[in-house]
Amino acid sequence: MNVSVVIPCYRSRDSLPELVARLHASLADVAEAYEILLIVDGSPDDTYAVARSLEIEDPRVTAVLLRRNYGQHHASLAGIDRARYEVTVLMDDDLQHRPEEIHLLLEPLADPLVDVVYGNAVDEEHNVWRNATSQGVKRVMERMGLANARLFSSFVAMRTDLREGFGSVAGAAYIDVLLGWSTNGVIAVPVKMDTRTHGRSGYTWSSLVRLAWDMTTGTTQALRFVTVAGYFACLLGLGLFVYVIISYFVSDPTPAGWASQAAMTSLFSGLTMLSLGVIGNYVGRLYMSSQNRPTYVVRIQGDTGRQVGLPSAPAVASSSEAERDAVAAAQRRRQADSQ
């Protein structure tokens, strides 16, 4: 196969040299031709300077610098837009995903009915609480309409032409949701993951929950959930009304206590606020989409590609060597001054 490896990079100046060296060694055995796309997601350190030096060392490496931090999914989309080969592999920059296990993702793609292969960790690297929370959230996401949510991971191989099914993506975009829209040919294979040796994860528990919520509301299932909750609330209210009328004529006509009234008021108020929140989230998405904001904006690119993440944006030529070197040198100076 010919393979494009896309790596969103953020604060990974220390891990990139080893990661790229291991990729060269492993890809040479499994790919006829390959490229490594380092998408620097507005990292505040000199990660782009390191990526630029790796680009100079080997023409199969391309360094792209985004103008600010857009997030892992948007940086991945910038790399997918630029992929030249028929298979694209997405992986993290922290050496937890082993380059030597890429072949495990590529082998199932020999089946023409398989379009996406996720690498699921045999032994989770996080603590028990986070792993249990992650699996629970994924199950909820699957029940909310995201097919194959339990298989999701950031180590994935996909057929590059699936990007044609991403449609008019602007604003917030999530790779797993886009792949779910594009194909049902999704499987997972077990892979081994290493513990993080450089830095720490940028994902906190709250950010992971927020990410899951955003991905879930990428479908209309949440609106259906609100509708069903509304039906049950109406049935519950009707049942209580019937109970009060019967109690009035059959037993003590004394009005019910304030505690039960307060509980029911809280219940229905909570359902109302939940419904408004879900609907408001969808309205907000429509508003953001109407602005047609790009999913990313490129500052420096080492290859021809779109400068803004809009479907209609034309491809532009790569930045000049002098401009790329100037930005890399400026980052090195800033990094040296901060130490």
206, pLDDT greater than 70? no
What is the rounded average pLDDT of the residues 257-266? 62
pLDDT of the residue at 161: 93
Burial 270-303, CB ≥16 within 10 A → b, else e: ebeeebeebeebeeeeeeeeeeeebbbbbbbbbb
The whole-angstrom distance between residue 48's C-alpha and the CA centroid of its chain comes to: 22
pLDDT of the residue at 47: 95
pLDDT of the residue at 289: 65
Report pLDDT digits (tens) over 40-88.
999 999 999 999 999 999 999 999 999 999 888 899 999 999 999 999 9
282, pLDDT greater than 90? no
What is each CA distance from 262 to 106, 252, 269, 274, in whole angstroms? Answer: 59, 20, 10, 18
Looking at residue 71, the DSSP 8-state letter turns out to be -
For residue 175, name the pLDDT band (cuts at 50, 70, 90): confident
Joined together, the tokens standing for residue 89 give 């592999």
111, pLDDT greater than 90? yes
Asked whether the whole model's pTM tops 0.85, one would answer no
30, pLDDT greater than 80? yes
State the DSSP string of 14-68: TTHHHHHHHHHHHHHHH-SEEEEEEEE-S-SSSHHHHHHHHHHH-TTEEEEEESS
Please report, rounded to a whole number, the percentage of residues in the chain having pLDDT higher than 90: 44
pLDDT of the residue at 17: 96
Report pLDDT digits (tens) over 152-164.
888 999 999 998 8
pLDDT of the residue at 253: 59
For residue 333, name the pLDDT band (cuts at 50, 70, 90): very high
What is the rounded average pLDDT of the residues 214-227? 62
For residue 98, name the pLDDT band (cuts at 50, 70, 90): very high
